[in-house]
Homo-oligomer: A and B are copies of this chain.
Amino acid sequence: MNTLAYGLLGLVARTPSSGYDLMLQLQPFWQAKHSQIYPLLAKMEQEGYLEFTRVPQTDRPDKKVYSITEKGRTALREWLTQSTSEPVLRDELFLKTYCLWLTDRNTARKLFEEREAHCLEQLNMYETFLEELKLACDGTPQDHGSPYFGEYILLSRGVSSMREELNWCRWVMELLDQQA
């Protein structure tokens, strides 16, 4: 049971889902490929944290829909009381930024333009998901106890952190332009 395993458990606790679906739901908060998820789900099922039913589909491939067991729910609650490991941010742009003095203004500028575009994309995604969430549960997400509460505050965080990063990109580009 590693961090990803608990993450999957948390998703399944709200809505039973297939591995493919879990991968998609998890994307905005934790990046994991299907090749990491499928074997882990199988292992968690063997150890009794999850169970699955095979759901045949006519137009699409069959799916394995996983749901949480009592053992899984207990483990999940226990995990929430334990201390959280420190977040790790790996951003190649940080390392490139450190070396900006070695390069010309154009090359430098391009780095931040690219990041600006990426942030706008992400911001748009978080805002869209937030709107959808509000529609899906009219007014309730601010209520702790609502199964949407966590997602609501996570998406809000996504929005504000993307805005902060955008501001930074623009500030850096201004600094670069001032010396043109």
Contact = CB atoms under 8 A, between A and B. Distances in A.
A153 interface: yes
Interface string A4-33: 001100110110000000000000011100
A76 B88 contact: no
A126 B89 CA distance: 15
A94 B179 contact: no
B164 A160 contact: yes
Interface of chain A: mostly helix, strand, loop or mixed? helix
A100 B81 CA distance: 11
Contact of A153 (B83, B90, B172): B172
Interface stretch (A35-43, A44-52, A53-61, A107-115): A107-115
Interface residues of A, number: 69
11 contacts: A14-B101, A29-B94, A87-B93, A97-B150, A98-B154, A99-B150, A142-B175, A153-B168, A157-B168, A161-B165, A164-B164
9 closest A-B pairs by beta carbon, nearest first, are A87-B91, A7-B95, A10-B99, A98-B150, A29-B94, A164-B164, A100-B150, A97-B150, A101-B147
